[in-house]
Amino acid sequence: MTEPNPSEALDLYAKVEDLLGVKEAAPRLYAHYLLALQSLEFGSLLDVGCGSGDFLKAMQGAFPEAEFSGIDLSPEMVRRARKQGVEAHCSDLCELPGRYDVITCVFDMLNYLSDEELVPFLHCLKERLNPNGVLLCDLNTLYGFEEVAVGAFVAEDEGRFVAIESEFEAGIYRADFTLFEKEGACWRKSEGTIRQYYRSPEKIAEVLGAEILLRDPVSLYTETPDKLFLAFAPRP
């Protein structure tokens, strides 16, 4: 049985994202989105799970005539995104009004959804796409889960220390986070667990009722592809 990720765990992740090497790998992943967007005619883009807004800021610079906005369930992430000057809201996709030419789900956002969350999420996503709209996303490959993500990891800076223990079994990736934050002469400890779930492109296409327009392998951390970049066109 799959389980939703609690908001407290997502906020904990938000506090340590910059220690995990995500920002260093991001430009290589963003390049796939940039090339795909250059082939599309679009006037509006919604980034779901926008995080700290790095992706939106990069795309706004590349396409100044388009309208960009983002949503995230973590208030901390939304605060950081707004600080970068991008439009971001702490909102649920299914409660969001309006439609968009392009919806993006960047850095394996769909892998974070449990089985119970995935189906209604994709139905809401389809409803918020304009006719002929496109979903752009990336998914972790089995290799990415089994060979890249698992194991132990520690990182620190002057005010934080984070330790992560992770495993992948039966299609479920589990990462246990322990964070120590310096507060004066003391350290405050926080703990949380984040899960990701392996998703095949065919599964996403089936639930979304869509055609797979593009399937490109992405190698962020090793020579073997650890992600797939995908473009979906939902059928009417």
Please report, for the domain that includes residue 54, its CATH number.
Answer: 3.40.50.150
**Residues 66, 116: one domain?**
yes
- For residues 65 and 174, state if they share a domain: no
Clarify whether residues 121 and 138 are in a common domain.
Answer: yes
**Other C-beta atoms lying within 10 Å of the C-beta of residue 220:** 19
Is there a single domain that holds both residue 113 and residue 50? yes
Does the pLDDT at position 230 exceed 60? Answer: yes
Provide the pLDDT confidence category of residue 124 given band limits of 50, 70 and 90: very high
According to DSSP, the residues that pair with 7 across neighbouring strands are none
Based on the fold, state whether residues 11 and 68 are members of the same structural domain.
Answer: yes
Is position 116 within any domain? yes
Same domain, 47 and 83: yes
Alpha carbon distance 77, 93 (integer Å): 16
For 64-75, what is the mean pLDDT?
93
> Which pLDDT score is estimated for 236?
85
CA distance 128 to 92: 12
My answer on whether 62 and 126 are in the same domain is: yes
Residue 1's pLDDT is what? 56
Contact by Cβ (8 Å): 40, 102: yes
Average pLDDT across the chain, whole number: 94
Q: Does residue 1 lie within any of the structural domains?
A: no
Same-domain check for residues 47 and 128:
yes
Mean pLDDT for the stretch of residues 28-57: 96
Across residues 178-198, what is the average pLDDT? 95
What percent of the chain shows pLDDT beyond 90? 86
Judge if 80 and 161 occupy the same domain: no
Query: Which residue range(s) make up the domain with 12?
Result: 7-142+199-234
Interval 22-34 mean pLDDT: 94
83 — pLDDT class (breaks 50, 70, 90) = very high
- Model confidence pLDDT, tens digit, residues 143-176: 999 999 999 999 999 999 999 999 999 999 999 9
**Structural domain total, the chain:** 2
Residue 16 has pLDDT above 80, yes or no: yes
137 shares its domain with 150 = no
75 falls in which pLDDT band (50, 70, 90)? confident
Instruction: Tell me, yes or no, whether 133 lies in a domain.
Output: yes
What is the Cα–Cα distance from 88 to 90, expressed in whole angstroms?
A: 7
Query: What average pLDDT does this structure show over 173-180?
Result: 97
Q: What pTM value is reported for the model?
A: 0.93
CA distance 10 to 50: 13
What's the pLDDT band for 73 if we cut at 50, 70, 90?
confident
Q: Are residues 220 and 158 in the same domain?
A: no
Per DSSP, 183 falls in state E
In a domain, 57, yes or no: yes
> Alpha carbon 231 to chain centroid distance?
15
> Is 2 within the bounds of a domain?
no
Domain CATH for 155? 2.20.25
> Both 115 and 18 in a single domain?
yes
Q: Quick check: 216 pLDDT over 60? A: yes
